């Protein structure tokens, strides 16, 4: 029996490859499916099942394409009603994979169709659970994402999650291995651990949601307290996972079409496409296509695209480092952005050589910021999360979190320079690009962000641990 966790850090998402006796099951596959097919071929095995733990909100699963290319059956738990052929398992239904067994345990709460898959080994012993968004390491799935799909409130769903955990998960043995769908950084939970595999016994000790003496009312209150609004693209990903989508190969072929600078400019004008620059922030600062949006591949690319562009049907034109065009299109498609129309052939260098108009971002060092602040009250905008800002910040800085930037546009001064920073320079460059695309050009980005500021003489507030906030 082989079990492999295929973890994608930029999405904080875990897919799983299970092989036994020449048969393979894939759990919660990513959009691009060739790696799973190649992996199975290397084992001289065939993919039999594709198990979906639920209709994922934060990425587009590869289940439809993988089933089409392999003939494997797609398995969902009770209450699922997809628009394509799938097996809707009953609670407790067993699926054989060689001489091991995978059991569907219906665990509603995160969503109504949420299902945990229990793997029993060759001897019939409970070995592992693939818990989807029902149980994370250190947390459980948020219960508010599916409430708009029916009459249930987030409190109703939290109550169902409490029952699922106590009736289906907690009775299992402590040595059962927990393989969750997400880890730290995912928007599907609040306080996930950085680890991606653990035993159920350890989770019973340290996961607040599995506390033995916890009442349902206490659970509902703790799970629903402090939930941030979900990213706007989540419902659109759920819709794609329910109804299907374009074949990934078609998306890749369309998105990797090379365009000369003239053709690129014409395509932008004719289609209303967003020009998305995915290079490093330092390269973007030195020069970029006017009104383009920076979201670099070197950071949390797909989640920020989803949060800031939001509409998965938005046409996109890419400015990418040479050789990274396919990677960018692939990562966009994982969160449902299938409408990439092509990329700038030769990159930004070709744009400049063609004598096309371009823009830059003004920058300064933390030391230079300190000198300015000694004699001026220049406005400073901190685009980190609220909790980061509360933990420690520059005196007199204003918190304008990147994901809420559109709500703060009126705060930025029109007639005087102002400074923008984040933790290290990635998010502040995204903010700079958005502000400049809206005609706000009097900004100066602080190189190295708060990390550099903390090492300078710029006065900052007293540090407060984020765990106490």
Q: What is the pTM of this model?
A: 0.89
Q: Give the torsion sign (CA, 245, 247, 249, 253).
A: negative
pLDDT digits (tens, 9 = 90+) for 426-443: 999 999 999 999 999 999
User: Which pLDDT belongs to residue 77?
Assistant: 97
Contacts of 170 (CB under 8 A, 6+ apart): 204, 210
71 has pLDDT over 90 = yes
pLDDT digits (tens, 9 = 90+) for 351-360: 999 999 999 9
469 has pLDDT over 60 = no
**Could you give phi then psi for residue 284, rounded to 5 degrees?**
-65, -40
pLDDT digits (tens, 9 = 90+) for 373-410: 887 778 999 999 998 999 999 998 999 999 999 899 99
Q: What is the mean pLDDT of the chain?
A: 95
Range from 140-149, 160-169, 282-291, 375-384 carrying the lowest mean pLDDT: 140-149
CA-CA distance, 320 to 342, in Å (whole number)? 10
* Integer Rg of the chain from CA: 24
User: If pLDDT is split at 50, 70 and 90, which confidence band does 16 have?
Assistant: very high
CA-CA distance, 48 to 70, in Å (whole number)? 8
pLDDT digits (tens, 9 = 90+) for 37-67: 999 999 999 999 999 999 999 899 999 999 9
150 has pLDDT over 70 = no
Share of the chain above pLDDT 90, in %: 87
User: Which pLDDT belongs to residue 467?
Assistant: 58
343 has pLDDT over 60 = yes
User: Which pLDDT belongs to residue 466?
Assistant: 63
pLDDT, average across residues 338-347: 98
pLDDT, average across residues 98-102: 98
User: If pLDDT is split at 50, 70 and 90, which confidence band does 95 have?
Assistant: very high
User: Which pLDDT belongs to residue 468?
Assistant: 55
User: Which pLDDT belongs to residue 231?
Assistant: 84
149 has pLDDT over 60 = no
User: Which pLDDT belongs to residue 376?
Assistant: 74
CB neighbours (10 Å) of residue 235?
16
**Which is more confident, 20 or 231?**
20
362 has pLDDT over 60 = yes
CA-CA distance, 340 to 326, in Å (whole number)? 11
- Per residue, the 3-state secondary structure of 336-389, as one string, reads CCCCEEEEECCHHHHHHHCCCCCECCCEECHHHHHHHHHHCCCCEEECCCHHHH
CB neighbours (10 Å) of residue 398?
16
pLDDT digits (tens, 9 = 90+) for 239-269: 999 999 999 999 999 999 999 999 999 999 9
pLDDT digits (tens, 9 = 90+) for 269-310: 999 999 999 999 999 999 999 999 999 999 989 889 988 998
User: Which pLDDT belongs to residue 66?
Assistant: 97
């Amino acid at each position: 029996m082989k079990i492999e966790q295929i973890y994608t850090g930029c999405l904080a998402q875990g897919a799983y490859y299970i092989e036994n006796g020449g048969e393979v099951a894939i759990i919660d596959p990513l959009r691009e499916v060739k790696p799973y097919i190649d992996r199975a071929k290397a084992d001289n095995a065939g993919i039999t099942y594709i198990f979906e733990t639920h209709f994922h909100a934060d990425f587009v699963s590869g289940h439809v394409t993988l089933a089409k290319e392999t003939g494997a059956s797609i398995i969902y738990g009770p209450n699922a009603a997809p628009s394509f052929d799938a097996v809707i398992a009953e609670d407790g239904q067993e699926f054989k994979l060689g001489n091991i067994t995978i059991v569907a345990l219906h665990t509603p709460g995160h969503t109504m169709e949420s299902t945990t898959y229990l793997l029993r080994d060759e001897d019939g012993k409970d070995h592992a659970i693939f818990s989807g968004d029902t149980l994370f390491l250190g947390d459980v799935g948020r219960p508010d994402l599916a409430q708009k799909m029916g009459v249930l409130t987030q409190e109703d769903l939290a109550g169902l999650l409490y029952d699922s955990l106590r009736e289906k998960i907690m009775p299992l043995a402590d040595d059962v291995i927990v393989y969750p769908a997400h880890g730290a950084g995912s928007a599907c939970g609040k306080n996930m651990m950085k680890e991606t595999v653990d035993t159920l016994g350890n989770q019973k000790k340290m996961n607040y949601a599995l506390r033995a003496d916890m009442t349902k009312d206490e659970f509902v209150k703790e799970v629903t307290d402090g939930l941030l609004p979900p990213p706007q693209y989540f419902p659109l990903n759920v819709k794609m996972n329910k109804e299907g989508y374009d074949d990934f190969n078609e998306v890749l072929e369309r998105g990797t079409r090379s365009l000369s600078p003239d053709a690129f400019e014409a395509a932008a004008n004719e289609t209303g496409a967003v020009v998305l620059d995915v290079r490093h922030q330092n390269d973007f600062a030195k020069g970029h296509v006017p009104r383009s949006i920076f979201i670099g591949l070197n950071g949390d690319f797909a989640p920020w695209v989803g949060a800031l562009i939001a509409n998965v049907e938005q046409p996109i034109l890419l400015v990418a480092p040479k050789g990274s065009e396919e990677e960018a299109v692939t990562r966009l498609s994982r969160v449902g952005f299938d409408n990439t129309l092509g990329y700038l052939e030769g990159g930004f260098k070709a744009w400049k050589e063609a004598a096309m108009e371009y823009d830059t971002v003004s920058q300064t060092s933390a030391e230079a910021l300190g000198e300015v602040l000694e004699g001026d009250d220049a406005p400073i905008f901190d685009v980190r999360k609220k909790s980061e800002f509360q933990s420690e910040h520059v005196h007199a800085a204003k918190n304008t979190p990147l994901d809420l930037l559109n709500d703060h546009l009126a705060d930025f001064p029109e007639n005087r320079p102002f400074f923008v920073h984040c933790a290290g320079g990635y998010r502040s460059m995204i903010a700079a690009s958005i502000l400049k695309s809206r005609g706000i050009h009097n900004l100066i980005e602080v190189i190295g962000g708060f990390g550099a500021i903390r090492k300078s003489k710029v006065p900052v507030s007293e540090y407060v641990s984020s765990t106490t906030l």
